[in-house]
Amino acid sequence: MLGWAPTMAPGMRGITRRRSRGLQLAEADIQIAAGNPEFRSAPELLSKVITHEFGHALGLVHSPDCRDVMSFGANCRGIPPERLPQAPAVGDLAQCRVRYGQ
């Protein structure tokens, strides 16, 4: 499920909650901060956040590399929104291979 969150903790842009049955993903809920003014001025940021949260739904964790869509936003401040990754990058795909195989 993907939807807008009317309120979210300060500084948060999105959150994903996963539920598993054993080792299998059963469900994931993604919420995006509806009132975040950054999204109005930088739609690229909204796209990055949504893709990032879908990565969490797949079980991926934060990456220290700002070129990865799974990078943690607070670690990559100062990068212009138009230069943010919009699709899974090398590090993201490496996480997928580790988690799911080739």
What does the pLDDT look like over 71-94, one tens digit per residue? 988 788 889 989 999 999 999 999
Rounded to two decimals, the pTM is: 0.91
Burial class (CB in 10 A: 0-12, 13-18, 19+), 36: buried
Helix (H, G, I), strand (E, B) or coil at 96: helix
Mean pLDDT of the chain: 92
In the numeric block, the tokens 């909650």 are attached to 17
Hey, what amino acid is at 61?
V
